[in-house]
Structure 1
Amino acid sequence: MKTRRTIIMILALCVALSFTACTGKGDVGKAGSSSVSEGTEKTEDLQAKLDDLYQQENEIFEKHKDVWEKVFSKMSKADAGSDNYVEYLASTVESNKNSFTDDELKTLKEDIETIRGIEEQITEVENKLDTSGASDSKDDDTIAFNNVSGKDFDGNDVEENLFSKNAVTVMNFWFTGCKPCVAELSKLNELNDAIKSMGGEVVGVNTDTFDGKEATIKEAKKILESQGAKYRNFALDANSDAGKYASEIMAFPTTILVDRKGNIVGEPMVGGIDNQENYDTLMKQIKSVIEADSANK
């Protein structure tokens, strides 16, 4: 859960909520007024409520996507670690209010109040999960991909040893309509070439291609080819661990590091590595994971 919060709080370079149409369950108009039922509840029921609440937030951003993209473009990485998600959104809007029309400000303020109500419910459910011992069951909040299923863009099954064969796997989440995502593809290819000899690999996960959609795979392949990106890209199953992880990403491109055991290491990087500072930061993190892997052998 902490990783999900971090992803939301980091500067959003591009919002992609293509998952909403496929998985939306909530009623945005009623999100702020409903409450979590009292009493003993099963862990799976609590988790389902949590997923539903996350989705309700997604739907709010999707409903007013254009104006929220303007908000995300104003966010500062220096402030992105704020502990209070809603107040961070509100302060960003307030400090940039001259950039919005009166109607846009009205929409944003109404959305923020709705999100505030959803966040209160999320906190309530998370507390129940903590009490039941089901939430963040690992002391270090490590997120692991126990199963990664799907096919690469050539139709080959994703190998079971995708992670175990590499000291580090750099997993980049992108989609075809995201300009910052496309802009970094050639740099990701350069990164893949650079870390191969070190025991690393870059793999792409195009979220438009989930569950093997042929038309979107064809489109994604054309974009990769145009950018000279030859590293492997996957059309994952939406219900796999990595697919579920991707469904909670709210800013693209997002890049994560996965160790040999399938554990996500460190915090996700949001933003393209065609920015040299981001590239250097990511490379430093990659070398750290590889060094740790070597020390554990």
Structure 2
Amino acid sequence: MNAKKILALMLCAMMLLSLAACGTKDNEKKADMSSNDSAMTDEQKNAEEALALHKKLMEQENTILSQNTALWEKVFMAADKGMTLQEDGKNYGDFLLDTIEGAKDQFTDEEYEMLKESATEISNIENKLTELENKYPEIMQESIDGDMSVPAGSDMTNPPDDGSMQKFPAFEGKDLDGSPVKSDELFSANAVTVVNFWFTTCNPCVGELSELDALNKELAKKGGALIGVNTFTLDGDEAAISEAKDVLAKKGVTYQNVYFASDGEAGKFTTNIFAYPTTYVVDRNGNIVGDPIVGAITEKKQAETLQKLIDQALAADMG
């Protein structure tokens, strides 16, 4: 994986189960560390001040993880292979510390100490974020809506200039059991297909799996279906497929998950997704209906928006 993609996934993984979405923000904007440290010691007078601090703290985490990306890539890959599921409610900095310790032999003494120091800083930030979220629960969705979005200008979010509908990229792949899957056959067989992009160590992604399975059962009654695309499984990575199947089984998920080549049209499309989970609605002709749903459908806003797009696709199919 390239460094930008690794960083995006690292930032996704750092969200707690209580957050609606995993995603990245602009890494070129560097947080003022000393200012944030001072702000962390001050009592916030209202939700507006708490929200401002919440955003600053998230920017500070972003900055930490945007530095030394090659080292963080090693940490992330260690977490990918060895820590499929983060414990519910566990501080993400502590999760990183455990992962760094497990991959200690991959780093020099200097790198190891630097990573430990950074992960400890993240742990402290996460503690403050938790305090803010517990005291001002209303700030959480505001912070997510303001910062956890798909970067402007991403190809996946911009419809064609001529007003026509954007096609979901074609693919020929397999499901996690090895059965062949072709996108044209998949979409044409369903009145509507919901495509959910996720990855194994993204807790909001994992947190919505049960709801997605229930949605799939409802779609089946209307001639539709839901499929998942676990980005770790692209190119048929056997270890990633095994881990994904384990997570899906633990969550009781029965809907189909598929993978395809990373260098194909759909693979390149997937690389341009920098917020997780992200969900698309696709009609029978393979057209993307509306904008992608960024964030878990466990949140009311995302669930309602997704349902509207599904209803739109079903209505058009009947017409």
Question: Normalising by the residue count of structure 2, what TM-score does the alignment of the two structures yield?
Answer: 0.55
3-state DSSP class of the match of 2:187?
coil
> Contact conserved, 2:20 with 2:296, CA < 8 A, in 1?
no
Partner of 2:253: 229
Q: 1:278 to 1:100 in 2, by over 3 A?
A: closer
Q: 1:102, 1:275 → 2: CA distance?
A: 23
2:174 aligned with 1:151: yes
Q: 1:61 to 1:246 in 2, by over 3 A?
A: closer
**1:108 Cα shift?**
9.5
Correspondences of 1:4-15 after superposition (within 5 Å): none
Partner of 1:249: 273
**1:167 Cα shift?**
1.4
224, 237, 240: which one aligns with 1:213:
237
Q: 1:224, 1:168 → 2: CA distance?
A: 22
Unaligned runs of 5+ in 2: 37-51, 68-151
**1:202 Cα shift?**
0.2
1:172-230 deviation line (CA, Å, top 9, x unaligned): 00000000000100100000000112121100000000011111101100100110110
**1:145 Cα shift?**
2.9
> Contact conserved, 1:209 with 1:235, CA < 8 A, in 2?
yes
Q: 1:252 to 1:146 in 2, by over 3 A?
A: closer
2:46 aligned with 1:96: no
1:103-154 deviation line (CA, Å, top 9, x unaligned): 87986999xxxxxxxxxxx99xx9xxxxxxxx97651263313521210011
Partner of 1:188: 212
Unaligned runs of 5+ in 1: 1-18, 25-54, 77-84, 111-121, 127-134
> Contact conserved, 1:74 with 1:96, CA < 8 A, in 2?
no
1:238-269 deviation line (CA, Å, top 9, x unaligned): 13332221111111000001111111110111
3-state DSSP class of the match of 2:290?
strand
> Contact conserved, 2:168 with 2:287, CA < 8 A, in 1?
yes
147, 163, 168: which one aligns with 2:192:
168
Count of matched residue positions in the alignment of Structure 1 and Structure 2: 211
Return the letter of the residue paired with 1:293. Answer: D
**1:99 Cα shift?**
4.7
**1:235 Cα shift?**
1.7
Q: 1:67, 1:194 → 2: CA distance?
A: 28
Q: 1:197 to 1:215 in 2, by over 3 A?
A: same
3-state DSSP class of the match of 1:228?
coil
Q: 1:203, 1:238 → 2: CA distance?
A: 18
* Percent sequence identity over aligned pairs: 38
> Contact conserved, 1:145 with 1:241, CA < 8 A, in 2?
no
> Contact conserved, 2:173 with 2:259, CA < 8 A, in 1?
yes
> Contact conserved, 1:67 with 1:104, CA < 8 A, in 2?
no
Return the letter of the residue paired with 1:175. Answer: F
Over aligned residues, Cα RMSD in angstroms?
4.2
Range 238-247 or range 160-169, more displaced: 238-247
Partner of 2:162: 139
Partner of 1:203: 227
Q: 1:286 to 1:96 in 2, by over 3 A?
A: same
Return the letter of the residue paired with 1:230. Answer: T
Range 179-188 or range 237-246, more displaced: 237-246
3-state DSSP class of the match of 1:265?
coil
Question: Normalising by the residue count of structure 1, what TM-score does the alignment of the two structures yield?
Answer: 0.58
**1:270 Cα shift?**
1.1
Q: 1:152, 1:230 → 2: CA distance?
A: 12
**1:100 Cα shift?**
4.0
Q: 2:58, 2:307 → 1: CA distance?
A: 41
